[in-house]
Structure 1
């Protein structure tokens, strides 16, 4: 089995690229979505989060108060590190179990923090999706209902494309100049040849 990892900054188009891989029959593990589920369903993780952020970290219905936590971690980087130290190991283990259950020749793990979490080390290939800020910012503002400053804060808190590029085996340019489908097909063909 060939394990691919895909990463990129907020609003770069990771999910769109993943949907193209899914059309090729590649199962995708969405680490960010799983992290949200784990933070709600895993009792140990939930308790650790409450210990750090207080009971306000969760709504009365048990769902995580993402906006509250986001405000804190973007103002207090040490709390971001504590949160990541709780969530990343749980997501890594969940991803390993998911991957072991797959029958496909190629699997894909989508994670904004693929590199920062260290899970890129478990991948055979890393794909970076890049997108110009003038496209990313309005996209995230619309999708996440955030102000421009909030989006800029998120972007600045993440690794830059140049930093991530050092870990990437392939780079997909999501700038509208070259078809995403064409780029994904080229990567898929190159990877399948190595099998």
Structure 2
């Protein structure tokens, strides 16, 4: 009987290609928990979290139809590290609880993946078994984001990158590095990791 599901974290800066990596893992049969997407979903649907956000930021945090008033919330936390920290202090623990329930529901899989842009910054990678960093040069990342998000300009993308932890500080924390620099096929790198994780997971049965 399986006693433990291997939990893999995948992170990377904007434009690194972590979402593409996760799609490849999904194709190989691995369940993927998109923490950033689930955080937004919980903010809109989780009654306990909604009450907490309204209590802290006011009823204006939600529109009359019940959806998140993102414009209002953005103004509350923009440029204020302390206010952003207060919002994260409400959202992150709820996401962590939801993720653990999800892991339990997928415990019959050899390994599962948690994808998040701020796995390292939020220190949630410390609760996982392995950390994979998707790496790409800054110039290439900027180019990808500008092609993907035409509404953004170079300055905006550089500002986002500056707010994220530098790659040189992330690299030593990851057990596995996927180089998405267009020099080596990404799918072959993911296939190698899939074999490693599957073999490691088999030792836990």
TM-score, structure 2 normalization: 0.86
Q: CA deviation at 1:17?
A: 0.1
Q: Extract unaligned runs of 5+ from structure 1.
A: none
- Give the equivalent residue in structure 2 for 1:150: 156
- Give the equivalent residue in structure 2 for 1:179: 185
Alpha-carbon separation, structure 2, partners of 1:8 and 1:117: 13
Alpha-carbon separation, structure 1, partners of 2:156 and 2:67: 22
Is 1:134 the counterpart of 2:139 in the alignment? yes
Q: Extract unaligned runs of 5+ from structure 2.
A: none
Q: Is the 8 A contact 1:52 1:79 kept in 2?
A: no
Alpha-carbon separation, structure 2, partners of 1:30 and 1:179: 23
- Give the equivalent residue in structure 1 for 2:195: 189
* Larger CA Rg, structure 1 vs 2: 2
Alpha-carbon separation, structure 2, partners of 1:30 and 1:12: 16
- Give the equivalent residue in structure 1 for 2:42: 38
Alpha-carbon separation, structure 1, partners of 2:143 and 2:54: 33
Q: CA deviation at 1:68?
A: 4.7
CA-based RMSD: 1.9
Alpha-carbon separation, structure 2, partners of 1:177 and 1:72: 42
For this pair of structures, how many residues does the alignment match? Answer: 195
| 1:83 aligns with one of 75, 84, 87 | 87
Query: C-alpha deviations, 1:1-56, integer Å up to 9, x for none?
Result: 21111011122111100001011100101101100000111223223333444444
